Amino acid sequence: MKQYKAYLLDLDGTMYKGDEPIDGASQFIEYLKAQDIPYLFVTNNSSKQPETVAEKLQTMGISATGNEVVTSALATADYIAEEHPGASVYMLGGTGLQTALVDKGLTIKNDEFVDYVVVGLDEAVTYEKLAVATLGVRNGAKFISTNKDVSIPKERGFMPGNGAITSVVSVSTGVQPTFIGKPEPVIMNKALDILNLPKSEVAMIGDLYDTDILSGINVSIDTIHVQTGVSTLADVEAKDIPPTYSYEDLNAVIKSLKGEVD
């Protein structure tokens, strides 16, 4: 396996499952740190602030700081601030999204007369919130969604994700949003800008083909599939564009980087 100068890493299914770390996750990060190889965790989660995501990793023995986490909320805020500095926004979502938008100088409003409507995962969503979002889009606001994940894993099972919430506004208005999170290039390009390395020197690691692996393919970087989450080896081998590599877990990736396996 090629030696890369930096890595982008998925979280759920790659580093942990729920609240349990996956064997090889902490070992891989320690290997990267020992080699002075930079890494970033790239997540579609817009509800949590980067520091909160890092704290969860730390409780599992995985070294992480807020500066090493790129969320779809951060990428969304950057996208809007670059396109329309100081814009007004009506949002559905958690504190992670709200903080990211405000930190970029954007104005949060609670009515439908705004420049942008942003939908992020909102576990307290109501009919009224969806109604205001719908009216905002109908009034001409640009429609943004942090990610298209239709379901997310929870302790009770797979629950409605942000894509499911977004679809209510899409169906009601007939308007498709601009998606920011994986597998879209927006969030990946933000992470690549932070690393500031040639694409040929960066690899994306993840378990789910349709988000993680495809996100790497969509920005023309190599991809490393780990068989510790949703997509199986058979799944990814059947794709028109398979990942660059597929390994049983991150322990196997370490062995390959050390030249102990192919």
Overall average pLDDT of the 39-48 stretch: 95
Q: Quick one: pLDDT at residue 50?
A: 96
Answer yes or no: is 255 a known binding residue: no
Is it the case that residue 155 has pLDDT exceeding 70? no
Bridge-based pairing state of the strands 16-17 and 20-21: antiparallel
Neighbour-count burial for 196-206, b at 16+ CB within 10 Å, e otherwise: eeeeeebbbbb
Answer yes or no: is 148 a known binding residue: no
220 and 199 Cβ atoms separated by less than 8 Å = yes
Answer yes or no: is 222 a known binding residue: no
pLDDT digits (tens, 9 = 90+) for 44-56: 999 999 999 999 9
Lowest mean pLDDT among 12-21, 60-69, 93-102: 12-21
Helix (H, G, I), strand (E, B) or coil at 109: coil
**Domains, the chain:** 6-44+182-257 (3.40.50.1000), 84-179 (3.40.50.1000)
pLDDT digits (tens, 9 = 90+) for 237-248: 999 999 999 999
Integer Cα distance of 67 and 17 in angstroms: 22
Overall average pLDDT of the 21-40 stretch: 96
Q: Quick one: pLDDT at residue 183?
A: 96
Catalytic residue check, 149: no
The active-site residue, picked from 10, 78, 122, 222, is 10
Q: Which residue has the tokens 């009216």?
A: 135
Catalytic residue check, 115: no
Answer yes or no: is 210 a known binding residue: no
H or E element in which residue 30 lies: helix 25-34
Q: Indicate the average pLDDT of the chain.
A: 95
